[in-house]
Structure 1
Amino acid sequence: MTIKLIAFDIDDTLLSSAKVILPSTIAAVHECLARGLKIVLCTGRPLAGVAPFLAELGVTGDDQYVVTYNGAVTETVSGRLIISHLIDRAGYAAMTDFAAAHRLPFNVVDPQSAIITADHDLDPMIVVQAYENRAGVLIREPGEMPADFAIAKGVFVGTEAQLDAAENAVRVAFSPRFSVIRAGRQFLEVMALGIDKGKALLALGEQLGILPEEMMAFGDEENDLAMFDAVGTAVAMGNGTDVAKAHADVVTASNDEDGIAKALASLVLGDTGV
């Protein structure tokens, strides 16, 4: 079946290990756009954090889309909201209390991209988040926020060892009410129940009249598995985790070895010689 929509994770997938988009990827995406395909960046970042990559790829306008906050928000590239699934202030407060009790660095991200934490001593990963997302950081307790305040996701951060030790406790505390996803070795995210990249893509497909079999997705990590399971063709990067590769239909070269361009050439663009 013809591919009509291609979804890309960003970190370690769209971006090389040097945190840049390879020229081969840009050229292949330009060819896909010229053929009328939808190019959807699916990421834990907000729109502001992906805007530079969209511009570099030439993905513009109100008829191209992004899935942000790992599926909590879907919007057009120009910023028109399509779907959102947010967490209320009570949920935000429960996560903040848990983080304080377990001495885990923690922050939340609101739909306007601000990063908010009750931690006065900022963990380095929170600073990295703010930089990558082009966001400011606010030091606030939940009680300081308006009663109707809602968040896109909560994020436990720290070292890989810290999160390995805490992950089960986080899942026990929050899985009954929320979705808990290990978004990376240093990120453990809590979102609205049942929300993930895969469900967001399926909902977007319904609105656009695109079937799951007409979708392709590229990823490398645990938070890409739902996306892999949702689409007709799942492509894992050669640098991806063993779990991601096991869930994929195809394993391509790494993010430093033109993996996206090679897969698009053989699976979408019809050039098997790449």
Structure 2
Amino acid sequence: MDRADAAPDTRPPLAVDIDGTLTDRHRVVDPRVFAALREWPAPVVLATGKALPYPVALCEFAGLATLVVAENGGVVCLDTDSHDELVIDGDRAAAERVAAAYREAGHDLGWGSLDLVNRWRETEIAVSRDAPLDPLREIAADHGLRVFDTGFAYHVVSPDVDKGRGLGIVADRLGRDSEEFVAIGDSENDVATFEAAGRSFAVANADDAATQAADQVTDTAYANGFFEALSTVRSSP
């Protein structure tokens, strides 16, 4: 068959978590993902709990268009040839009040005095998983906020902010429906993305919330699970 007569590649756009999904258990990005993401023939959205500079840098070094949902949906960034927009949602001031009350209760955020984890956050606060969770949840609830346990940190976020909502914003700007996307992730903050997307995969290391919400759970963990999900999507009709 002539190349010009070949069927077009109809693989769907992706919404992919970073920590625990594109990494190993130590949060080291698997170098194989750079080519895999760059060569995917449809838009790739990085949807993460990390502050905006991290996924933007990953897009830069992977050679991807900047399509980012950061801070669990609190920040959405599109910086492409046809789109230039930054959407900030959530209440950083409220999260700061939770952090202050948490410290007053005798607890520490757990990142040391420099705290690079929170330095660039605009809508939430992240707390080390070495810190006690129950008092953090109680204080957050008192301030009308909630806490996500991503498996790498506790995130204090506004109740109406999540990755699924962020994905909806990106999809709308791209002229697509969020149900066109395949979502891949590993923790409870990915559940909203799974619900917004048309198809979802939890990698084998995923927590119970993500495992129960996903359409399919991979046999392999971390980045290997990501590649397994891609292989399944490629082979789907």
TM-score with structure 1 setting the length = 0.70
Equivalence map 1:64-75=2 (5 Å): 64-75=66-77
Q: CA deviation at 1:18?
A: 4.5
51, 54, 64: which is aligned to 1:49? Answer: 54
Q: How many aligned positions are there?
A: 225
Q: 1:47 to 1:169 in 2, by over 3 A?
A: closer
Instruction: Give the direction of change, closer, same or farther, for the CA distance of 1:18–1:151 in structure 2 (3 Å limit).
Output: closer
For the residue of structure 2 that corresponds to 1:76, the secondary structure is strand
Deviations 1:14-33 (A, max 9, x none): 1122433334433332331x
CA distance in structure 2 between the partners assigned to 1:66 and 1:48 by the alignment: 10
- Which residue matches 2:128? 157
Give the superposition deviation at 1:95: 1.9
Alignment match, 1:169: 138
Residues 126 and 46 (structure 1), Cα distance of their counterparts in 2 relative to 1, 3 Å cut = farther
The Cα shift of 1:52 comes to: 3.9
Distance in 2 between the 1:125 and 1:247 partners?
A: 35
> What one-letter code is carried by the residue in structure 2 that aligns with 1:233?
R
SS of the aligned residue for 2:157 comes to strand
Task: State the secondary structure of the residue aligned to 2:35.
Answer: helix
**Paired residue type of 1:10:** I
Structure 1 unaligned blocks of 5 or more: 107-122, 137-149
Report the Cα offset of residue 77 of structure 1. 4.5
Residue among 200, 210, 224 paired with 1:244: 210
Retained in 2: the 8 A contact 1:3–1:214? no
Offset of 1:218 from its aligned partner?
0.9
Tell me the distance in 1 between the aligned counterparts of 2:173 and 2:228: 30
CA separation of 1:264 and 1:223: change in aligned 2, threshold 3 A: same
The one-letter code of the counterpart of 1:27 is A
Alpha-carbon deviations, 1:23-50, whole Å to 9, x = none? 4433332331xx2x11111112223222
Determine the structure 2 residue equivalent to 1:82.
86
CA drift at 1:214: 0.5
Alignment-derived partner of residue 3 in structure 2: none
Which digits, 9 at most, give the CA deviation of each residue in 1:46-66, with x for residues without a partner? 232224422343213xxx411
Within 5 Å, give how 1:173-184 maps onto structure 2.
Answer: 173-175=142-144, 178=145, 180-184=146-150
Counterpart of 1:75 in 2: which secondary structure? strand
Give the 3-state SS of the residue equivalent to 2:87 in structure 1: strand
The structure with the largest strand share of the pair is: 1
The residue aligned with 2:198 is 232
Which residues in structure 2 correspond to 1:18-167 (within 5 Å)? 18-32=26-40, 35=41, 37-60=42-65, 64-77=66-79, 80-87=84-91, 89=93, 91-92=94-95, 94-106=97-109, 123-124=110-111, 130=116, 151-159=122-130, 162-163=132-133, 165-167=134-136
The match for 1:145 is: none
Q: Does the 8 A contact of 1:76 with 1:82 survive in 2? A: yes
| Alpha-carbon distance between aligned partners in 1 of 2:167 and 2:28, rounded to the nearest angstrom | 25
Q: Give the TM-score normalised by structure 2.
A: 0.80
Mapped partners of 2:11, 2:232: distance in 1: 12
Partner of 1:270: 235
- Partner Cα distance (1:260, 1:53) in 2: 16
Which residue, 221, 228, 232 being the options, matches 1:254? Answer: 221
Q: Shift of residue 151 of structure 1?
A: 3.9
Distance of aligned partners of 1:99 and 1:212 in 2 relative to their CA distance in 1, 3 Å threshold: same
Superposition CA RMSD, Å: 2.9
Using a 3 Å threshold, how does the CA distance of structure 1 residues 93 and 242 change in structure 2: closer, same or farther?
closer
User: Distance in 1 between the 2:31 and 2:98 partners?
Assistant: 41
8 Å contact from structure 2 (residues 184, 202) kept in 1:
yes
CA offset digits 1:100-143 (Å, max 9, x no partner): 3322324xxxxxxxxxxxxxxxx34675x61x68x58xxxxxxx
Instruction: Tell me how far apart the structure 2 counterparts of residues 47 and 166 of structure 1 sit (CA, whole Å).
Output: 27
Q: In the alignment, is the contact (CA less than 8 A) between 1:6 and 1:217 conserved in 2? A: yes
Distance 1:28 1:97, change over 3 A: closer
